[in-house]
């Protein structure tokens, strides 16, 4: 019996072979491509509407290789025109859902593809790279065909301290990442292992591994921009001072009706837009210090070595930003502060929110990672801190790279957002 497959949290049940496409379906798939050969056809369960589904594998010869591949696609020790996967949905016209041409997927020429089919699911695993090796597992729904989840691994093949595993949920645009503690030795080559239980995701998984919620750059269709006066709707999930989608790094979690919510998106390599809803009225700060006002703390990585964990203070820059938009110099390596644009709006629940656009003068200011912290105040004193990464010795233990969703493997616009009715919302 074929074993069960668990990929990115989804269980794919074993499937049986089904009837190959008929003559009309084969003609629709192959067209004038004379080297087109029908491979195995797999049962893919049923669509949400109950329509039977199947996925057929198509093999092409060099005569029908992709136009952008002069030498064709790697097939063991030979070359061919690649492999395609087509969806058969009852009597509907066949639809190509995946086209693969292994050109080595990087200078090392170690590229590989693996495809699994399950009930209304297709999982594509791909790997490649050069000195930086990578792999990705993408789980798609078949009807409609779109990416649901993705899990990526990236590591340097001579550095045990490198190795990042990133988990993306396209349905919520929640991103989580694991990285190795760079102060440790004898870690072995490759990426950390994902916790067996989702409940064990934490700022520190174990003595060798740390976790974080990277800032997401969701992307907009075409050349659209984000105007002032908009609110960040359901484009990205919120981090709260109750501990949702973030880590409590100081103080106790807020009670439900007193929890602040912070939504952050990245734009390009030098801009953050941060939205804050805080139901706790601000009071005069104790001693007049901005530290005791509601504020953001932004930690920016200054380490160009692509290792973002356990950085010393000299490889980070910290600023504080109070909700009136004032920037306060913090700890770490000095750098030019961002320009802040501030406005107020109402979110999708009608709550009043403060939105801050922070734009650094350096075009690539944020390429070495960023950690976002929110400090909630009560009675004029700092009450609690929630952060996108864990802290030790009053500084982040992980400053993860921002993650751009635009241009990821999804063949739809899943992962993108658009401005609609005064809010930045997910394209469904």
Kindly report which listed range (32-36, 226-230, 336-340) carries the lowest average pLDDT score. 226-230
Instruction: Kindly state whether residue 178 falls inside one of the protein's structural domains.
Output: no
* Amino acid 6: pLDDT: 44
Q: Which residues of 314-336 are buried (b: 16+ CB within 10 A; e: fewer)?
A: ebbbbbbbbbeeebbebebeeee
Instruction: Kindly state whether residue 44 falls inside one of the protein's structural domains.
Output: yes
| Percent of the chain surpassing pLDDT 90 | 79
Backbone angles phi, psi at 393, to 5 degrees: 55, 35
Give the separation between CA 308 and CA 302, rounded to whole angstroms: 9
Q: Is the pLDDT of residue 3 over 50?
A: no
Indicate the number of domains in the chain.
2
For residue 280, the domain's CATH number is: 2.60.40
Q: Quick one: 231 and 353 in the same domain?
A: yes
The pairing of strands 37-46 and 391-392 is unpaired
Among 265, 298, 264, smallest CA distance to 385 is for 298
Q: Quick one: 380 and 233 in the same domain?
A: yes
Give the separation between CA 25 and CA 345, rounded to whole angstroms: 53
Instruction: Kindly state whether residue 383 falls inside one of the protein's structural domains.
Output: yes
Instruction: Kindly state whether residue 157 falls inside one of the protein's structural domains.
Output: no
Q: Is the pLDDT of residue 1 over 60?
A: no
Q: Quick one: 111 and 232 in the same domain?
A: no
* Amino acid 224: pLDDT: 75
Counting runs of H as helices and runs of E as strands, what totals does the chain give?
1, 34
| Pair of tokens at residue 197 | 């239980």
Instruction: Kindly state whether residue 172 falls inside one of the protein's structural domains.
Output: no
> 20: which DSSP letter?
P
Q: Quick one: 112 and 228 in the same domain?
A: no
As to burial, measured by CB atoms within 10 angstroms (0-12 exposed, 13-18 middle, 19+ buried), residue 11 is exposed
pLDDT in tens, 394-410: 999 999 999 988 777 66
Give the separation between CA 333 and CA 330, rounded to whole angstroms: 9
Single pTM value for the model: 0.91
Q: Which residues pair with 376 in a beta bridge?
A: 384
Q: Quick one: 235 and 103 in the same domain?
A: no
Last residue of a domain, one of 74, 103, 119: 119
Give the separation between CA 390 and CA 205, rounded to whole angstroms: 11
Q: Which residue has the tokens 């992980």?
A: 398
Last residue of a domain, one of 119, 141, 163: 119
Instruction: Kindly state whether residue 17 falls inside one of the protein's structural domains.
Output: yes
Residue 379, phi-psi category: left (phi > 0), alpha (psi -120 to 50), beta (remainder): left
Q: Quick one: 295 and 416 in the same domain?
A: yes
Instruction: Kindly state whether residue 66 falls inside one of the protein's structural domains.
Output: yes
Last residue of a domain, one of 77, 102, 119: 119
* Amino acid 4: pLDDT: 40
Instruction: Give the domain extent around 361.
Output: 224-426
Give the separation between CA 79 and CA 202, rounded to whole angstroms: 45
**DSSP string covering 37-61:** EEEEEEEEEE-TTS-EEEEEEEEE-
Instruction: Kindly state whether residue 128 falls inside one of the protein's structural domains.
Output: no
């Amino acid at each position: 019996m074929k074993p069960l497959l668990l990929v990115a949290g989804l269980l794919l049940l074993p499937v049986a072979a089904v009837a190959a496409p008929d003559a009309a379906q084969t003609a629709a798939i192959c067209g004038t491509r004379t080297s087109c050969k029908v491979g195995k056809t797999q049962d893919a369960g049923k669509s949400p509407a109950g329509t039977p589904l199947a996925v057929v594998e198509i093999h092409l010869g060099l005569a029908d290789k992709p136009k952008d591949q002069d030498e064709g696609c790697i097939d063991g020790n030979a070359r061919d025109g690649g492999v395609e996967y087509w969806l058969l949905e009852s009597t509907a016209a066949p639809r190509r859902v995946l086209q693969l041409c292994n050109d080595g997927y990087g200078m090392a020429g170690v590229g590989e593809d693996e495809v699994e089919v399950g009930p209304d699911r297709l999982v594509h695993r791909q790997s490649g790279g050069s000195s930086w090796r990578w792999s990705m597992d993408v789980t798609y729904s078949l009807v409609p065909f779109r990416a649901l989840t993705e899990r990526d691994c990236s590591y340097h093949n001579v550095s045990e301290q490198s190795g990042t595993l990133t988990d993306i949920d396209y349905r919520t645009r929640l991103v989580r990442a694991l990285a190795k503690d760079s102060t440790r030795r004898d870690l072995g080559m490759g990426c950390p292992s994902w916790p067996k239980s989702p409940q064990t995701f934490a700022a520190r998984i174990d003595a060798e591994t740390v976790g974080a919620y990277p800032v997401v750059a969701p992307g907009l269709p075409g050349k659209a921009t984000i105007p002032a006066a908009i609110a960040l709707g359901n484009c990205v999930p919120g981090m709260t001072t109750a501990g949702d989608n973030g880590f409590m790094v100081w103080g106790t979690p807020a009670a439900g009706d007193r929890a602040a919510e912070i939504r952050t998106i990245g734009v390009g390599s030098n801009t953050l837009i941060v939205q804050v809803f805080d139901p706790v009225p601000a009071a005069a700060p104790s001693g007049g210090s901005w530290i005791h006002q509601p504020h953001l703390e932004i930690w920016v990585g200054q380490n160009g070595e692509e290792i973002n964990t356990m950085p010393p203070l000299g490889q980070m820059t910290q600023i504080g930003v109070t909700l009136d938009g004032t920037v306060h110099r913090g700890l770490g390596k000095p750098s030019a502060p961002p320009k802040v644009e501030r406005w107020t709006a109402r979110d999708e629940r009608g709550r009043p929110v403060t939105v801050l656009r922070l734009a650094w003068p350096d075009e690539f200011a944020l390429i070495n990672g960023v950690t976002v912290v929110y400090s909630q105040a009560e009675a004029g004193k700092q009450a609690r801190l929630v952060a996108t990464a864990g802290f030790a010795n009053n500084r982040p233990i992980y400053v993860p790279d921002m993650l751009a969703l635009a241009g990821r493997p999804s063949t739809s616009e899943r992962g993108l957002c658009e401005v609609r009715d005064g809010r930045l919302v997910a394209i469904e």
